[in-house]
Amino acid sequence: RAITHALDGSFHLWNTEMGSVFEGKLVHLCREHRGTVMDASFSADSSKLLTTSLDTSCPVLLWDPEDCRRLQSFGPGIQMRQAMLTPGGDQVVTVDVEHCVRAWETTTGILLRELAHDAQALSASISLDGMAVLTSSADNILRLWKLDSGDLMHVLSGHTDEVTSMTFHPDGEQVISSSRDGTLRSWSMSGGECVRTLEIGEAITLVALSP
């Protein structure tokens, strides 16, 4: 399946069994969001769909992609910038426009924990095993947390400008970050120290790793 979303708060689900979204058939048109849908993602097993909208009445919604049935909502009254499912699908992690990253129980929508930041939270990334979450904030700092307890494991400080992207290395031992300061940094998950810095010389907007 594939999803496309629009400025009017709607999104379209397409059947891509033919192998290409250009040959796909429209399966569902959903219009429950009242604001622009900014992001959407499928769970690892494709059994759930998560959408994030500028609509603060129901900013994050969970769907069954088979029939476009709404399963749960998260964070009413909170303006969200990002939301994602854990690899196991049992939790939803959200980043709001203020200072907080939150974890919610997928089935009930209950708030499990809050990861407070000293500055505005910008983004989050979940480890491949679903055990840790990495967050960035407007103070140019990354933080590594235990997702099950909310305990702060490490503060990763070294970038001198906004962290633009971050990802967990497939080896499970490092995290990689990029920044507008023109550097890529590799950090140890066990010790929290920066183990390598690559100077690019100009602002970097994205880093991605192959599996």
Contact status, residue 209 vs residue 188, Cβ threshold 8 Å: no
Q: What's the length of the chain?
A: 211
Task: Give the closest residue to 119 by CA, choosing from 140, 138, 101, 136.
Answer: 138
Cβ neighbour number for residue 112 with a 10 Å cutoff:
16
Contact status, residue 51 vs residue 39, Cβ threshold 8 Å: yes
Task: Give the closest residue to 86 by CA, choosing from 163, 156, 147, 20.
Answer: 147
For residue 127, the cross-strand partners are none
In the chain, which stretches have pLDDT less than 50?
Answer: none
Cα 93 to Cα 104: distance, rounded to the nearest angstrom? 6
Going by the DSSP 8-state scheme, the letter that residue 182 receives in this structure is S
pLDDT tens digits for range 53-71: 888 888 999 999 888 899 9
The residue whose two tokens read 């759930």 is: 48
Q: Which SS3 state, helix, strand or coil, does residue 131 take?
A: coil
- pLDDT score, position 161: 96
